[in-house]
Amino acid sequence: MNGEHGVAPALDVPATIVELDDVYKIYGSGATEVRALDGVSLAIRAGEFVAIMGPSGSGKSTCMNIIGCLDSPSAGKYAFSGVDVGTLGRDERALVRRHFMGFVFQSYNLLPRTSALSNVELPLVYEGVRPALRHRRAVSALSAVGLADRQSATSAELSGGQQQRVAIARALVTEPPVLLADEPTGNLDTVMAREVMTQLTDIRRERDVTIIMVTHEPDIARYADRVLLFTDGKLVRDGTPSEVLA
């Protein structure tokens, strides 16, 4: 896997896009040892919408960080799109994040005095995409989240739900096969949360994107096809929302 100057490295997308095999994440040792992940194995297929749930300290955020190549396992194997991430160097893992993953966080992380369009274009600026093309792709991404008419609006002129939709558009503008969403509705009221989740489900269907979402809210997890429930670093339940959240 290699790539430079904004050119995506070649990477096929197989049926199973994320696979963890007996993964551990251990902090400390002896009496102070903490197993943030304790022998987790799971597989996520391309095109799935998966919610990761669990109480504070359950391991759900650690699992998301490993999937997003933001952290590495202490033991076990993580394969992304068939590639053993453990064999990649730091720069290669950064390329995986840049070209194959889009990130959405609880805090929108938008530039406050910059237009929605410019915020969405930003990842393409870093990739060296020429202005005309990045403009077209940013407009398309904003249209995908229902904000084609708010391109010139700054963050102060947008509701919380609209700001999160701009953040989703920014994550989509590089056209990644996987979207990682960490508590994407955590700062939103019920109405705005539904608005954002409707956009995510529409995007998943229309763009065939794999969505992996951390949430502590059962109502939000029900938008997913599948729920992974973590407790004490272990994956304790894996099934449809009706099975896991009953």
Predicted local distance difference test score (pLDDT) of residue 232: 96
pLDDT band at 126 (very low <50, low <70, confident <90, very high): confident
Global pTM value = 0.89
pLDDT reading at 115 higher than 60? yes
Nearest to 204 by CA among 237, 180, 228, 230: 180
Q: Dihedral sign, CA of 33, 213, 121, 17? A: positive
How far is the CA of 131 from the CAs of 33, 121, 138, 244, in angstroms?
50, 9, 10, 46
Section 82-102 average pLDDT: 92
- In sequence order, the β-bridge partners of residue 79 are 19, 84
Domains, the chain, ranges and CATH? 48-69+91-245 (3.40.50.300)
Q: What is the pLDDT of residues 197-244, one digit of tens each?
A: 999 999 998 888 999 999 999 999 999 999 999 999 999 999 999 999
- Specify whether the CB–CB gap between 211 and 200 falls below 8 A: yes
122: left (phi over 0), alpha (psi -120 to 50) or beta: alpha
> What rounded mean pLDDT belongs to the chain?
91
How far apart are the C-alpha atoms of 127 and 170, rounded to whole Å?
Answer: 13
How far apart are the C-alpha atoms of 183 and 186, rounded to whole Å?
Answer: 5
pLDDT reading at 158 higher than 90? yes
How far apart are the C-alpha atoms of 232 and 34, rounded to whole Å?
Answer: 10
